[in-house]
Amino acid sequence: MIPIPKIALVGRPNVGKSTLFNRICGMRKAITDSRAGSTRDRNYVQVTREGFAFELVDTGGLLLGSDDPLLGPAVEQARTAILEADLVVFVVDARAGLLPADEEIARQLRRDGKSVLVAVNKVEGERVDAMGEFPRLGFDSLMAISAEHALGVGDLLDEVQARVPQVETPRVSDSGALPVAFVGRPNVGKSSIINTLLGDERSVVSAVPGTTRDAVDSELVRGEQRYRIVDTAGIRRVRLLKESVDHVSVIQARRNLERADIAVLVMDSAVGVREMDATIGGYAHESSRGVVIAMNKWDLVQGRKQAELELEARDNLKFLAYAPIVFTSTVTGKGFERLFAAIDRVAASQRTRVPTSQLNAMMTRALQEHPLKLARGGRRVRLLYASQIGILPPTFVLSFSQEAELHFSYRRYLENQLRAAFGFEGSPIIIRTRVRRH
């Protein structure tokens, strides 16, 4: 079977690579911003066009020899994408014209011996000379495009299709991969954890907070279980977002929770639980995702026991009392077996179905021990029937003899009774009520 060809978009910063990436894949997956360095990781997406499938890779800006602490790792990411690619689309800026940085990239691409197609972007202006001096780069194929206005992008894709192996679109099926999103404050070690799991520097790791801005999906296989790992940008308070690109990262991180079944809330053991950790955990809880708490950087903790830190986490994250806590360290490699064991248990809990007879017996017993009363008159409410109507998360409906609002404390009581009887580790539980009069 011929593997799906990989197409890498490369070029110096701010030439429109991410805009072109978004245009081709048909969604705003990559972050676009007028400032250099908005894309730092390799960003992958599978594209299907007229039955032809390929994998498109967006990369950070190539500034060879840069001393910037963030652009440096981004260059390494771009170099990896080039080496993996079957075809390199070298994006240049028609407005800015040919710059020395473009010529340096061209020399590097020729040394790599890769097939190269030059996309001369931003040609929408009347005064723009589409090709200008770009033929001096020494590549045979140059195409004028405007990624922002979709001009020439179809012709570009036709040329891409003609220059790589033709692979039919794989059949869409449930691959069985469990989608897991890693979320947390910036610089708590999310990317380091994912790199450790994958054994691949897929995500840029830096001591500068907020390094990961795009979400990067990767597939991981352990035994018979497949996982789709989503590395999300660090979530930061809106008032701390001095750059609009970081604000977009926050939005994308919350969206990625919607693409996952399970959220791994990564926190820094060395600094303890912060207010923002609770805020992010709240996002995961409110989106009804399964949750595992990973207390990372355990190797940096001195003079404290895990039980003490776990008690602190429980005290500050009372609404996530159902979430298992695992201590991890990317330096020592400890905790990752327990992390995956917890993820697997939570995945099973989310899909648990309770036999109706057992559910009704449990609920009847719970209401007998602590009767539910109406707010007015103090009359007792009778449970007629309980049923489970869904999973992911487990969702239950209680049919009562008359109108009754479940107080927050009583709803939690019923949730605790459900957990004591049937587990549901790491999974939120939804309880709905209705009246069925006779």
Is the predicted pLDDT of residue 156 greater than 80, yes or no?
A: yes
Is pLDDT above 60 for 47?
Answer: yes
What is the domain-level CATH number for residue 387?
3.30.300.20
pLDDT (0 to 100) of residue 244: 45
User: pLDDT > 70: what percent of the chain?
Assistant: 76
Residues 326 and 242 both lie in one domain: yes
| Region for 152 from its dihedrals, namely left if φ exceeds 0, alpha if ψ lies in -120 to 50, beta otherwise | left
Residue 245's pLDDT band (boundaries 50, 70, 90)? very low
Assess if residue 42 is contained within a domain. yes
The CA angle 39-230-247, to the nearest 5 degrees, is 50
Does 343 share its domain with 201?
A: yes
Domain boundary among 133, 163, 193: 163
Instruction: Kindly report the average pLDDT of the chain as a whole number.
Output: 81
Rounded CA-CA distance 78/118 in Å is 16
Task: Give the count of domains, the chain.
Answer: 3
Instruction: Supply the DSSP symbol for 379.
Output: P
Q: Which two tokens stand for residue 158?
A: 């036709």
Bigger pLDDT: 285 vs 199: 285
pLDDT at 248: 46
Q: Does 281 lie in the same domain as 223?
A: yes
| C-alpha–C-alpha distance, residues 32 and 39, integer Å | 8
Does residue 171 lie in a domain region? no
**Residue 168 within any structural domain of the chain:** no
Instruction: Indicate if the pLDDT at residue 81 is higher than 90.
Output: no
Mean pLDDT confidence for 202-221: 58
Strand order in the sheet with 52-58: 43-49, 52-58, 6-10, 87-93, 116-121, 142-144
In whole angstroms, what is the distance from residue 266 CA to residue 293 CA? 6
Residues 184 and 154 grouped into a single domain: no
Same domain, 122 and 43: yes
CATH code of the domain covering residue 93: 3.40.50.300
Nearest CA to 116 out of 145, 93, 82 is that of 82
- For position 340, what pLDDT does the model report? 94
Clarify whether residues 258 and 283 are in a common domain.
yes
Query: In this structure, are residues 390 and 247 in contact, taking their beta carbons and an 8 Å threshold?
Result: no
Q: Is residue 30 predicted with pLDDT exceeding 50?
A: no
Express each pLDDT in 95-120 by its tens digit.
999 999 999 999 989 998 889 999 99
| C-beta separation of 267 from 313 below 8 A | yes
Same domain, 327 and 414: no
This prediction's pTM = 0.61
Q: For residue 211, what are the contacts with CB-CB under 8 A and spacing of at least 6?
A: 40, 70, 73, 186, 187, 191, 204, 205, 234
Q: Is the residue at 123 inside a domain?
A: yes
Q: Report, in angstroms and rounded to the nearest whole number, the Rg of the chain calculated over CA atoms.
A: 26
Whether omega for the bond prior to residue 393 falls within 30 degrees of 0, making it cis, is yes
pLDDT in tens, 303-349: 899 999 999 999 999 999 999 999 999 999 999 999 999 999 999 99
Residue 190 to residue 209: CA distance in whole angstroms: 11
Q: Point out the least confidently predicted range of 32-46, 131-145, 164-178.
A: 32-46
Decide which of 163, 197, 219 is a domain's last residue: 163
Q: What pLDDT is attached to residue 422?
A: 96
Query: What DSSP assignment string belongs to 190-227?
Result: HHHHHHHHHTS--S---SSTT---S-EEEEEEETTEEE
| 170 falls within a domain | no
Same domain, 278 and 406: no
pLDDT above 50 for 211: no
Per-residue pLDDT averaged across 269-285, rounded?
89
Examine the domain organization and report whether 122 and 244 are in the same domain: no
Same domain, 137 and 235: no
Task: Answer yes or no: do 182 and 276 share one domain.
Answer: yes
CA distance 403 to 415: 20
User: Does position 170 have pLDDT exceeding 50, yes or no?
Assistant: no
Contact indicator for 220, 229 with CB cutoff of 8 Å: yes
Q: Is residue 169 part of a domain?
A: no
Render 20-78 in DSSP notation, one character per residue. Answer: HHHHHHTS--S---SSTTS--S-EEEEEEETTEEEEEEE-----TT---TTHHHHHHHH
pLDDT of amino acid 231: 59
CA distance 402 to 172: 47
Kindly report the backbone phi and psi dihedral angles of residue 45, in degrees, each rounded to the nearest multiple of 5, phi listed first: -155, 140
Using the 8-state DSSP alphabet, how is residue 176 labeled? Answer: -
Across 173-182, 184-193, 209-218, which has the greatest mean pLDDT? 184-193
322 assigned to some structural domain: yes
pLDDT-derived band at 171 (thresholds 50, 70, 90) equals very low
Q: What pairs with residue 47 in β-bridges? A: 54
Of 350, 380, 405, which closes a domain? Answer: 350
**Residue of higher predicted confidence among 416 and 162:** 416
172, part of any domain: no
Range of 400's domain? 356-435
Residues 344 and 382 in one domain: no
